Amino acid sequence: MPGQDALVITDIDIYPSFLEATVRCRADRVLVDARTYGRVEQLLPGVSDQLCVHAGHSRFGEEACGTELPHLLEHVAIELLVLEARDYSPDEQSTFLGATTWRAGSDGPRASSGSGGRDGKPRRSVFSNGRGNDGAGEFREMRVRLTFSHDLVALAALKHGEQIVRWACGERDEPPDVGEVIRGMHLLRER
């Protein structure tokens, strides 16, 4: 139920080469704490090495604590896409671009970020300031954008990412099985 979860994907728009999701957070739990990030880092160590152009940092690991949960979701989903490409689809795109911005009317403590894969190449980033606060009250909404080579694989990465972030926030006891998640994503590619 949206009112209970730390993070909920409320809608997803699919475009030819990217998707964009609205992610809703509880206003009192928007930011990533050290415990939450520690769990993510243990499950997906590569997340820390992803490039992230935000506040002068270059690695997401330096930015993660204190950033917003949807921004963490963006990097988790990218890591799942990177792992699927690495393990199963070496000939497919393995650099993915993401961006997380405040949704208009859902202004928050920070404006935006851009980020991408971790193969060392420069990344384009997207910056967009929130446009005021409509008094959304107990929720904050951000838009998370991901580029993809296969729409279903990217959708799965986003939905599994949502589950992983919820688990990291302490909302599920069982840690997700990343190997199973990646395998399942790959099966979607073969349909």
Q: Can you give the binding site for Zn ion, defined by CB under 5 A?
A: 52, 113, 115
Residue nearer to Zn ion on the CB measure, 47 or 181: 47
Residue nearer to Zn ion on the CB measure, 50 or 89: 50
Residue nearer to Zn ion on the CB measure, 123 or 186: 123
Which is nearest to 73 in space by CA: 166, 151, 179?
Answer: 166
Residue 86: both structure tokens together: 């690495």
**Cβ-based burial of 42 (10 A; exposed 0-12, middle 13-18, buried ≥19):** exposed
CA distance linking residue 68 with residue 175, whole number of Å:
21
Q: Answer yes or no: are the C-beta atoms of 107 and 132 closer than 8 Å.
A: yes
Residue 60 CB, shortest distance to Zn ion, in Å, is 5
Residue nearer to Zn ion on the CB measure, 49 or 188: 49
Residue 161 CB, shortest distance to Zn ion, in Å, is 13
Which is nearest to 168 in space by CA: 4, 1, 6, 3?
Answer: 6
Residue 51 CB, shortest distance to Zn ion, in Å, is 8
> Among all residues, whose Cβ is closest to Zn ion?
115
Residue 74 CB, shortest distance to Zn ion, in Å, is 6
Q: Which helix (H) or strand (E) holds 22?
A: strand 18-26
